[in-house]
Amino acid sequence: MNRDLGVFCEDALYEGDALALLPQIPTGSVDLIVTDPPFAIDFKANRLNYNRKGSNVLDGYHEIPEEEYPDFTRQWIAESARVLSPTGSMYIFSGWNRLRDILEGIDSAGLTTVNHLIWKYQFGVFTKKKYVTSHYHILFAAKDPKRYTFNKVDHYPEDVWVINREYWKGKKKTPTKLPAELVKKILAYSSNPGDLVLDPFLGSGTVAVVAQGEQRHFLGFEIVPEYCNFARACLAGKAGKR
């Protein structure tokens, strides 16, 4: 059965600004949102950050100016909360530097934070006068704290996940790609086959690709045309690794 997604089709990716596209999704139609939003730091998507061959890293990563970030965050989280189904939930990735904006966005949208997960990984940089950042925050928030999908996949599901970033030797990728294993774990716990999974900030489209592989429906947005095309190619099995 196809659900009503208004102007959108199920299992499709759209190029555009999430702030303009999210309001066009009908209320209550999405089961799970998994997303890694832009950071609002002076992030240079180039080979220096990631020690990769420049030609294999796609350029054009779209950043949000720092002064606009709190408002931007409040807006997209409020719209995301609206589109979630009554049993829906959301996983938001955040570095430590903008965490307060994400937490405020979750609160002001009326969502309940169920868990504050830590994703630990090997970052691969060296520092002289500070500790090496080797973790990310993942906020797991539900629309209704008494009624949300949670499949107890492991007997003892801890809130610290150690999953390394993927190294795509000689293959094109975007600089902030999430590991497929991480997204797969989220989908296993917080969705069921046939559910609709949304990522409003697709990047290379990992969330859509994994959703497709796990028999979930998906919908995704990305503002950078080159990234959106790359995500579509990944979905079609014509780019990257599945």
Residues at the interface with ligand SAM (CB under 6 A): 17-19, 36, 38, 61-62, 174, 176-178, 201, 203-204, 206, 221-224, 227
28 vs 179, which CB is nearer to ligand SAM? Answer: 179
38 vs 105, which CB is nearer to ligand SAM? Answer: 38
189 vs 230, which CB is nearer to ligand SAM? Answer: 230
Least Cβ distance, residue 64 to ligand SAM (angstroms): 6
Cα separation, 123 vs 1, whole angstroms: 42
Q: Which of 11, 5, 42 is nearest to 27 (CA)?
A: 5
Least Cβ distance, residue 204 to ligand SAM (angstroms): 4
Beta bridge partners of 22: none
Cα separation, 42 vs 65, whole angstroms: 9
119 vs 201, which CB is nearer to ligand SAM? Answer: 201
Q: Which of 197, 207, 198, 196 is nearest to 174 (CA)?
A: 207
Least Cβ distance, residue 50 to ligand SAM (angstroms): 13
119 vs 221, which CB is nearer to ligand SAM? Answer: 221
- Which residues, at least 6 apart from 15, have a Cβ–Cβ distance to it below 8 Å? 221, 222, 223, 225, 228
Least Cβ distance, residue 225 to ligand SAM (angstroms): 10
- Which residues, at least 6 apart from 71, have a Cβ–Cβ distance to it below 8 Å? none
Least Cβ distance, residue 152 to ligand SAM (angstroms): 26
Residue nearest to ligand SAM (CB): 203
123 vs 144, which CB is nearer to ligand SAM? Answer: 123
Rounded (to 5) percent helix, strand, coil in the chain: 30, 20, 45
- Residue 204, classed as helix, strand or coil, is coil
- Residue 47, classed as helix, strand or coil, is helix
Least Cβ distance, residue 144 to ligand SAM (angstroms): 26
